[in-house]
Amino acid sequence: MIDYIVGKIKKIDEKSVTMLVNGLGFGLQVPQTKNLILDKEAELFVYTHWNQEKGPSLFGFQKEIEKTVFLLIIECPKIGPGIAIKILSQISAGDFLEIISSQNEKALSNINGIGPKKAEQIIMQLKSKVSKLLSSGKVQGETQQDFTMWQNVNDVLISLNYSKPEITKTMQHLTAKHAGQDVPLDQLIRSALGYLSGNI
């Protein structure tokens, strides 16, 4: 099984690349081609998928977290590599983890190829696994910081005895309202309480 490749990029298509490694050309499906430059050396984390009819397919990722999230997605029943790569071609691995941890079905269902039913299924299957992954410390940088922030808001609402459905709706509202913004924890909490009291 191929887990990692270092080689020169010889061809770049919209959803795939060809890498030259010791005289062999490997075709890999990739979620993103940005930062990959023709005739420049690159390194990709690789997942090898075996299909009984088509044989092996290689999927390449520029970051290890992308491969980790890809493997999480394909653990869901009836969710194959094609859908997983389509998700990661539209949102970052960090954004996906945030969507799952905040149980934001609306944001997930807005991704091309993912409807409301599939979004609900993915979140139900992955929310505990994503929580364990993020709390394990294996995810570093902004993704970890973002998760800690959202988890703190969630914990505050639990301590104030709000119900699970109320908290889920509130977290969905917050992620939609403050996506991509650097918002302090106290402001997020005020925004959450304002939403719950209807004063927004």
Mean pLDDT of the chain: 85
Is the pLDDT reported for residue 157 higher than 80?
A: yes
User: What are the boundaries of each domain within the chain?
Assistant: 4-62, 65-197
Q: Provide the pLDDT for residue 141.
A: 47
- Other Cβ atoms within 10 Å of 161 Cβ, number: 7
Is the pLDDT reported for residue 105 higher than 80?
A: yes
Q: Provide the pLDDT for residue 41.
A: 92
Mean pLDDT, residues 28-54: 90
Is the pLDDT reported for residue 181 higher than 70?
A: no
Phi, psi of 16 (to 5 degrees): -155, 160
Q: Under a CB-based contact definition with an 8 Å cutoff, are residues 188 and 174 in contact?
A: yes
Distance CA 123, CA 62 (A): 25
Q: Provide the pLDDT for residue 139.
A: 63
- For domain 4-62, give its CATH number from 3.50.30.30, 3.40.228.10, 2.40.50.140, 2.160.20.10: 2.40.50.140
Q: Provide the pLDDT for residue 166.
A: 86
Mean pLDDT, residues 179-194: 80
CATH superfamily for domain 65-197: 5' to 3' exonuclease, C-terminal subdomain (1.10.150.20)
Mean pLDDT, residues 8-20: 92
Collapse the DSSP code of 171 into the 3-class scheme (helix H, G, I; strand E, B; otherwise coil) and give the result.
helix
Q: Under a CB-based contact definition with an 8 Å cutoff, are residues 102 and 81 in contact?
A: no
User: Per residue in 133-153, pLDDT tens?
Assistant: 877 666 654 455 566 676 778
Q: Under a CB-based contact definition with an 8 Å cutoff, are residues 61 and 45 in contact?
A: yes
Mean pLDDT, residues 60-81: 92
Which stretches within the chain are classed as H helix?
64-73, 81-90, 93-101, 105-109, 116-135, 142-159, 164-178, 185-197
- pLDDT range class, residue 43, cuts 50, 70, 90: very high
Q: Provide the pLDDT for residue 180.
A: 59
Q: Provide the pLDDT for residue 51.
A: 82
Hey, do 4-62 and 65-197 end up sharing a CATH topology, with the first three levels equal? no
Query: Does the global pTM surpass 0.75?
Result: no
